[in-house]
């Protein structure tokens, strides 16, 4: 079925909204669709895919748009759409537009300057090249510019992996097992999960494999006192609670009441009753201090640049400013120091980000260990090996999309002396 000519105009409107960069792209698109209720689900899907394709390849498509004719925004919209569907599928094109899109599609992108084909801000490209070296950085950049699959975590309290696989197969949904996370399943397509009884009854949750592995590193056990220090909407909280088999006490701390509110319906579906969401003002809140030295395990999934999630959130690379990384580093140090006070002697502290930059990762751990000699680093590969997870990225967990097919994640496991 060919797409109606009106779809191009809708993509133009969406790009105008997105290019203001007034907030995250997913929120901007949600508002865009709410304001246009006549758009059908298929049209919304096409517009969203084209919009994200543009954000991934903004520099490249802007370069291509310098050729052709007609209004620039129409050229950008056409190029974005042609990233996701064939030219033949777009109705209402003139012969000149069809010819132009066909010629653009035939261009060997590897022949273009790296600064053009990478579609990354110069400062970000320079940092990735400096940190990872050219061959690795180019593989990483290419992977970050591709759409991510959809990862699910099986809720072990409600179903086994095998039972979940059978239910997905019965629903006609194709999947494969994630290579590392023991309860992970990966979907190539993105079905309407909310309509599945399996989802409605809490048998599965959407969660990237890298995020699932953070719960494995924390290793929470039955009956323990555990804190998810930056819980957000609670994806990792739910994984930790299930690992604890709904025993003990699990605090979900966050400074955002709005984010924690998103945890409530997920919590209701999950079957967990050991989770206690708590809104805190900051890392030194009195609610935090009264638990000092009492907690067995603390997870700090710190606020970060989010560069490891560019497959899902490509707008981040255009909204993030280099000065923000320095500000985030200072915040990360403060949050980690605040969370460390909770850990009891012999307890475990896991620091994590979805960043790819050493300033937010290794440098934070080096700074923390230099000022906290009562904590030592426990090699991440040893923790995973104990759980029969064959993944060795050294002392730290360092997941990269071009190597591990997950989002980019960093994590360090720290242990307080007894």
The residues annotated with a catalytic role in the active site are 354
Pairing of strands 275-279, 249-254: parallel
CA distance 257 to 250: 17
CA dist., res. 48 & res. 26, Å (int): 9
Residue with tokens 């050219």: 134
Alpha-carbon distance of 26 to 18, in angstroms, equals 9
Tokens of 227: 């804190």
Distance CA(56)–CA(155), nearest Å, equals: 32
SS3 at position 110: helix
Structure tokens at 135: 């061959």
CA distance 181 to 405: 12
Per-residue CA distances from 406 to 185, 324, 362, 401 (Å): 12, 25, 20, 5
Write out the H or E segment, with its range, that includes residue 299: strand 295-301
* Token pair 């999950």 in the structure block, residue: 270
CA triplet 301, 303, 308: central angle to 5 degrees? 80
Q: Rg of the Cα trace of the chain? A: 23
Q: φ and ψ at 346, to 5 degrees?
A: 85, -5
| 175/348 Cα distance (integer angstroms) | 34
Burial class (CB in 10 A: 0-12, 13-18, 19+), 186: buried
The rounded distance, in Å, linking the Cα atoms of 192 and 108 is: 36
Classify strands 275-279 and 295-301 as parallel, antiparallel or unpaired. Answer: unpaired
């Amino acid at each position: 079925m060919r797409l109606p000519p009106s779809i191009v105009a809708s993509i133009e409107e969406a790009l105008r909204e997105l290019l203001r960069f007034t907030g995250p792209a997913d929120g901007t698109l949600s508002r865009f669709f709410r304001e246009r209720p006549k758009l059908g689900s298929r049209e919304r899907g096409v517009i969203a895919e084209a919009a994200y394709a543009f954000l991934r390849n903004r520099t490249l498509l802007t370069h291509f748009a310098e050729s052709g004719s007609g209004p620039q925004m129409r050229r950008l919209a056409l190029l974005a759409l042609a990233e996701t569907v064939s030219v033949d599928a777009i109705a209402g094109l003139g012969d000149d537009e069809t010819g132009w899109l066909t010629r653009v599609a035939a261009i060997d992108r590897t022949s273009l300057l790296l600064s053009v084909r990478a579609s990354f801000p110069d400062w970000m490209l320079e940092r990735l090249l400096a940190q990872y070296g050219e061959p690795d950085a180019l593989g990483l950049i290419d992977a970050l510019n591709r759409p991510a699959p959809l990862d699910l975590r099986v809720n072990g309290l409600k179903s086994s992996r095998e039972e979940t696989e059978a239910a997905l197969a019965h629903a006609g949904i194709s999947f494969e097992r994630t290579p590392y996370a023991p309860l992970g399943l990966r979907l190539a397509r993105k079905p309407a999960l909310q309509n599945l009884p399996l989802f409605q009854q809490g048998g599965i949750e959407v969660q990237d494999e890298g995020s699932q592995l953070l719960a494995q590193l924390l290793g929470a056990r039955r009956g323990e006192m555990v804190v998810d220090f930056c819980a957000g909407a609670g994806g990792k909280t739910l994984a930790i609670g299930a690992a604890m088999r709904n025993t003990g006490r699990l605090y979900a701390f966050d400074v955002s009441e709005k984010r924690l509110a998103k945890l409530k319906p997920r919590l209701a579906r999950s079957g967990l009753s050991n989770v206690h969401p708590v809104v805190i003002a900051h890392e030194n809140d009195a609610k935090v201090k009264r638990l000092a030295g009492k907690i067995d395990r603390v997870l700090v999934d710190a606020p970060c640049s989010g560069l490891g999630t560019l497959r899902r959130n490509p707008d981040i690379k255009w909204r993030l400013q280099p000065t923000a990384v320095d500000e985030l580093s200072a915040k990360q140090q403060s949050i980690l120091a605040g969370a460390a006070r909770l850990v009891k002697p012999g307890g475990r502290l896991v620091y994590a980000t979805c960043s790819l930059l050493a300033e937010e990762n290794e440098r934070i751990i080096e700074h923390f260990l230099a000022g906290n000699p009562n904590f030592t680093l426990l090699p991440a590969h040893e923790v995973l090996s104990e759980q029969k997870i064959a993944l060795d990225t050294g002392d730290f967990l360092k997941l990269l999309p071009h190597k591990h097919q997950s989002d980019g994640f960093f994590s360090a496991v720290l242990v307080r002396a007894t």
